[in-house]
Amino acid sequence: MNIINKEELAKAGLQYGYSRTRRHPSIKPYIEGNHNGVDFINLEASAKQLNDAITFLKSLQGAGKTILFVGVKPEIRQMIKEVALSLNAPYVSERFIGGTLTNFPQIKKRIEKLHDLLKKKETGELAVYTKKEQLLIQRDIDRLDRDFGGISSLTNIPSAIVMIDSRHEDMCVREAKCLHIPVVALCNTDCTIEDIEYPIVGNDGSVSSVRFVLESIKSALSAQIV
């Protein structure tokens, strides 16, 4: 396994937190200093957290478990999607719908409906409908694909979740906690890490830092794909 060091994290800009006034108490042990009111993160600790998280994810992948990727902020959603697709993993990049985890049986029905409509479209079965009816059906397909397309491969709840910005994805964190699903999350200084099993304390507001974390995970997991 390629061990990630703090110098790599610094180059990607993970050391920059938010202002001290926005700091969550659970993050305090990971603050190295403060300059002009801005918290600086201890990257020695963050590097260990990232390495530990990758080790955990590799063990799950090796056991054939499903890892869900979540990140819906506009600036990072495409990265989430690309990394997940490269790993043949499910993802949520548009919006996390309440009940995705805690009410999965109902979500599964929506996924099955999407599969059914796509199959009928592919086989030409929708041709029996009028143009207006076909238009309405296509709108239904588009809506279902937007909401559930990224998780259409899920047949059960995932074994772990990788997310960017646990504060922004608080609904997902709460649902994961209810079901005891471990979460790996990049968390800036305004996040609570009390409910995150594998927090990676670092700048979650920079494209370069988010890309570094996701690419590090992708690289490690891709190496195990046969």
Please, which residues have CB within 8 angstroms of residue 206's CB and are 6 or more apart in sequence? 12, 13, 14, 16
Considering the domain architecture, whether residues 34 and 144 belong to the same structural domain is answered as no
Considering the domain architecture, whether residues 74 and 20 belong to the same structural domain is answered as yes
Domain count, the chain: 2
Average pLDDT over residues 198-216: 96
pLDDT score of 207 more than 80: yes
Could you give the residue ranges of the DSSP H alpha helices within the chain?
6-12, 43-62, 77-86, 104-123, 131-148, 170-178, 207-222
The span from the CA of 76 to the CA of 146, in Å, is: 16
Query: Could you say which of 93, 128, 151 is where a domain stops?
Result: 151
| Cβ atoms of 75 and 207 closer than 8 Å | yes
Rounded percentage of the chain residues whose pLDDT exceeds 90: 89
Considering the domain architecture, whether residues 38 and 146 belong to the same structural domain is answered as no
Considering the domain architecture, whether residues 85 and 54 belong to the same structural domain is answered as yes
Name which of 17-21, 76-80, 139-143 the model is least confident about.
17-21
Query: Where residue 1 falls among pLDDT bands split at 50, 70, 90?
Result: low
Condensed to tens digits (0 to 9), the pLDDT of residues 22-50 reads: 889 999 999 999 888 889 999 999 999 99
Considering the domain architecture, whether residues 95 and 120 belong to the same structural domain is answered as no
Query: Where residue 106 falls among pLDDT bands split at 50, 70, 90?
Result: very high
Considering the domain architecture, whether residues 20 and 66 belong to the same structural domain is answered as yes
List the one residue out of 218, 226, 219 whose CA is nearest residue 89.
Answer: 218
pLDDT of residue 2: 78
Inside any domain, residue 202: yes
Structure tokens at 200: 């990676």
Q: What is the CATH number of the domain that holds 115?
A: 1.10.287
Considering the domain architecture, whether residues 18 and 96 belong to the same structural domain is answered as yes
Query: Where residue 225 falls among pLDDT bands split at 50, 70, 90?
Result: low
Rounded percentage of the chain residues whose pLDDT exceeds 70: 99
Inside any domain, residue 58: yes
Name which of 49-58, 60-69, 75-84, 120-129 the model is least confident about.
120-129
The span from the CA of 16 to the CA of 201, in Å, is: 10
pLDDT score of 12 more than 60: yes
Q: What is the largest CA-CA distance in the chain?
A: 67
Q: What is the CATH number of the domain that holds 80?
A: 3.40.50.10490
pLDDT score of 226 more than 70: no
Query: Where residue 223 falls among pLDDT bands split at 50, 70, 90?
Result: confident
Considering the domain architecture, whether residues 119 and 179 belong to the same structural domain is answered as no
Residue 134's domain comprises 104-151
pLDDT of residue 197: 97
pLDDT score of 86 more than 90: yes
pLDDT of residue 220: 95
Inside any domain, residue 1: no
Average pLDDT over residues 4-17: 95
